[in-house]
């Protein structure tokens, strides 16, 4: 009698995000494995906004299903929801810059408020990010958002995102309002995120109409 | 009626939350925001009141002596009572409402409408900590400082300029002032101006964070409502405070006799 080795099932890839929305002509279903870089196109701005809001709040509506890092967000305790939120970050108009703070204050605000990372570390990361995109920090960091161009605002928000070190980063409408040359520059966001967080998950979200 | 009750409830909640979170002022960005508030509310407002406050003292002494035919003693007494107990804190509160109350409520309404308060929440920053506490604490400190400044200017202006229009010397007026001054006047104006600052800032923060709708049109409505209610609050506190201190403390409960 020969022993037949049992076929070991291939482990399913762990999902960073699983989202679905039901309803007539509103169907959306997407799954993003941990450590991947994905680009998704949602049908319209409303779908995009409700998706990003659901992920950032770690909370979903009755017609939605959402799992973040394998945890269904429905019926989560406040503490668990808070912990889950801390693992997610976004570069999105929903989390825009604060108008009465200059670029440096905007970038360092979350770290200064939460007390980590240290301001020295924030300064180093900011300097590195600005270097990658060829921006002189002296003129850039003292300006308020209204004095910054669209590209510069995105770079400031990206620096803030890099400091937060999210395990899942969502970048919404990256090329929105940018010229072709500027689009080529922000394409470097992916590489920079990968370099800093090799195991992180990056999700680009756009709408089909864009 | 329902809206008024809701506003009272919201205002109370905001005030209690702000009072309970004063410890967060130690955090660097909140401390910075607090100092910025003190600067904009107190320091920048102080330059505009120099002349007005100085002439206030002269007016009080001149009117008292001329119209009421009072002597130096009475004129200085009235100057002290009016400036320290009533006009000083009230004038500071009016300056604060007009300069900072309007700016604060408009700024917060704009932040709410443009989604910046939502952005702060997503960044894990508590709105009370970052927006309300430094403003409330900053306005309280600034109101107190501005009250002292106005009182000093009004008294000093009254003593320095009155000799030009009445028959009394500076030394005469000054010596009477030091004789008549009591610490009660000082504590009274401290407590009152801190209360005024708290009421004005809490009222303006509440309205700024709760605009009637999320359109640009809501901003002027917010400012009007905040300023009107802050002024009413200040007048009410002033009246209640005066009644409690002078009515009950000194004369017992005042009852009508038919």
Q: What angle do CA B121, A66, A199 make, to 5 degrees?
A: 80
Nearest by CB to A94, from B107, B115, B125: name it. Answer: B115
B231 near A CB under 8 A: no
Residues in B 87-126 with any Cβ partner in A closer than 8 A: 107, 110-111, 114-116, 118-120, 122-125
For position B243, what pLDDT does the model report? Answer: 82
What pLDDT shows up at residue B252? 61
Q: Which residue of B has its CA nearest to A52?
A: B122
Range of the structural domain that residue B165 is part of: 2-251
Which token pair is A106?
């905007």
Its domain, for residue A156, covers 15-207
- Give dist(CA A43, CA A210) in Å, integer: 10
Residue A9 falls inside a structural domain = no
Predicted structure pTM score = 0.85
Residue of A nearest to B110 (CA): A99
DSSP strand pairing (A201-207 vs A37-42): parallel
Nearest-Å Rg of the Cα atoms of chain B is 21
Q: Is the ipTM of this complex over 0.90?
A: no
Q: What is the pLDDT of residues B71-84, one digit of tens each?
A: 778 878 888 888 88
Below-50 pLDDT ranges, chain B: 258
- Measured from the Cβ of residue B189, the count of other Cβ atoms closer than 10 Å reads 22
Number of domains in chain A: 1
**Cα→Cα distances A153→A117, A140, A143, A164, Å:** 22, 10, 10, 17
- Does residue A86 form part of some domain? yes
Question: How many domains, chain B?
Answer: 1
Q: Which two tokens stand for residue A181?
A: 């040359």
Give A100-133 pLDDT, tens digit per residue.
999 999 999 999 999 989 999 999 999 999 999 9
Contact A99 B114 (CB under 8 A): yes
**Residue B258, domain member (yes or no):** no
pLDDT tens per residue, range B112-163: 999 999 999 999 999 999 999 999 999 999 999 999 998 888 888 888 877 8
> In whole angstroms, what is the distance from residue B221 CA to residue B110 CA?
12
* pLDDT confidence of residue A12: 61
Backbone angles phi, psi at A77, to 5 degrees: -75, 160
With contact defined as beta carbons under 8 Å apart, do B53 and B154 qualify? yes
What CATH code is carried by the domain that includes residue A175?
Answer: 3.40.50.300
Q: Is the dihedral of CA A15, A21, A26, A27 positive or negative?
A: positive
Hey, how many other C-beta atoms are within 10 angstroms of the C-beta on B164?
8
């Amino acid at each position: 009698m020969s022993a037949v080795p049992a076929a070991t099932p291939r482990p399913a890839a762990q999902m960073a995000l699983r989202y679905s929305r039901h309803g007539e002509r509103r169907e959306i279903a997407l799954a993003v494995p941990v450590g991947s870089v994905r680009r998704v196109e949602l049908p319209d701005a409303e779908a995009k906004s409700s998706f990003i809001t659901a992920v950032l709040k770690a909370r979903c509506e009755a017609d939605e299903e959402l799992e973040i890092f394998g945890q269904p967000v429905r019926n989560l305790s406040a503490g668990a929801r808070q912990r889950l939120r801390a693992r997610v970050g976004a570069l999105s108009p929903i989390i825009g810059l604060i108008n009465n703070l200059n670029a440096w204050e905007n970038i360092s605000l979350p770290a200064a408020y939460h007390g980590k990372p240290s301001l020295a570390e924030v300064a180093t990361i900011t300097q590195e990010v600005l270097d990658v995109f060829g921006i002189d920090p002296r003129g850039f960091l003292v300006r308020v958002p209204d004095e910054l161009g669209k590209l510069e605002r995105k770079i400031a928000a990206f620096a803030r995102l890099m400091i937060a070190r999210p395990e899942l980063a969502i970048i919404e409408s990256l090329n929105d309002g940018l010229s072709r040359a500027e689009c080529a520059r922000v394409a470097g966001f992916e590489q920079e995120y990968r370099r800093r967080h090799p195991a992180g998950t990056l999700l680009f979200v756009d709408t089909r109409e864009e | 009626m329902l809206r008024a009750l809701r506003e009272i409830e919201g205002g109370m909640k905001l005030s209690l939350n702000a009072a309970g979170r004063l410890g967060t002022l130690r955090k660097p960005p909140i401390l910075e925001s607090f100092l910025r508030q003190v600067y904009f509310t107190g320091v920048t407002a102080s330059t505009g009141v120099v002349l007005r406050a100085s002439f206030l003292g002269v007016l009080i002494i001149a009117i008292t002596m001329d119209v009421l035919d009072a002597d130096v003693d009475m004129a200085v007494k009235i100057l002290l009572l009016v400036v320290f107990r009533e006009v000083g804190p009230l004038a500071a509160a009016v300056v604060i409402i007009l300069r900072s109350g309007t700016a604060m409520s408009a700024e917060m309404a704009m932040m709410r409408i443009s989604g910046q308060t939502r952005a702060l929440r997503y960044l894990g920053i508590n709105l009370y900590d970052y927006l309300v506490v430094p403003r409330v604490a900053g306005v309280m400190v600034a109101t107190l400082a501005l009250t002292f400044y106005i009182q000093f200017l009004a008294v000093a202006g009254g003593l320095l300029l009155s000799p030009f229009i009445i028959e009394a010397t500076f030394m005469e007026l000054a010596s009477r002032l030091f004789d008549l001054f009591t610490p009660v006047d000082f504590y009274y104006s401290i407590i009152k101006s801190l209360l005024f600052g708290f009421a004005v800032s809490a009222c303006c923060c509440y309205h700024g964070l709760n605009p009637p709708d999320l359109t640009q049109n809501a901003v002027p409505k917010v400012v009007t409502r905040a300023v009107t209610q802050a002024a009413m609050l200040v007048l009410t506190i002033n009246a209640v405070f005066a009644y409690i201190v002078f009515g009950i403390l000194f004369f017992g409960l005042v009852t009508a006799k038919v």
